[in-house]
Amino acid sequence: MYRAADDTWFVLIVTSDKLAAVAKAIGRPDLLTDPRFSDPAKLMANMPQLTAILDEVFRAKPMAYWYEVLSGVHVTFGAVRGPQEVINDPQLRMNDIVVPLEGAGGKLTSTISSPIQVHGVSKVPAKRAPDLGQHSEEILEELGFSATEIAGLRASGTLGKPTLQPAAAPGASPATAAKPTPTGATA
């Protein structure tokens, strides 16, 4: 990793087959005649010295300059992004890695796409997770619970906050009126 003059850090992969192109592009053709870097074995053995030289060179100009220089060399390089910057990386959006989030609210507008792709099946757009208990009643109905049983679960607090009980019928004791009917029991 190297740091440009504007404090942007970037990764550059310099392999023996790319050294000549990089050295010429950055204005250091003398590196090609340096005996420390004359063959792949020496290049690997002296990589710390080459890194120190490149550190000095790259600190002299901002990343915008190095981006233009290195883009024409066909070498692997890229800016190291911080957590706040990476979400706005255009490549992540172009490759559908960061996608819009359906039903998002507030500052939340996008999310990371599912990495799973099934041949012949379109991905479902990302959407917010349901609120806690949002679909409990529908799921219980699908599982065969009756409306009375679900109401009992709701009243007992099993499905969230218990609902207020209706006032006791005349002549009924307060304890009987406030006590929910157990699931599956008949009153």
Q: What pLDDT, in 10s, does the model give residues 144-161?
A: 999 999 999 989 888 877
Q: What pLDDT, in 10s, does the model give residues 162-187?
A: 655 555 555 544 444 444 444 444 43
**Which residues is 2 bridged to in the sheet?**
10
pLDDT of residue 101: 87
CB–CB of 86/92 below 8 Å? yes
pLDDT of residue 72: 86
Alpha-helical regions (H) of 59-165: 63-71, 83-86, 90-94, 136-142, 147-156
Gap between the Cα atoms of 152 and 173, Å rounded: 19
pLDDT of residue 167: 54
Q: What pLDDT, in 10s, does the model give residues 76-128?
A: 998 898 887 887 888 888 988 888 888 877 788 888 888 888 999 988 888 88
Gap between the Cα atoms of 153 and 148, Å rounded: 9
Gap between the Cα atoms of 100 and 125, Å rounded: 8
pTM (predicted TM-score): 0.51
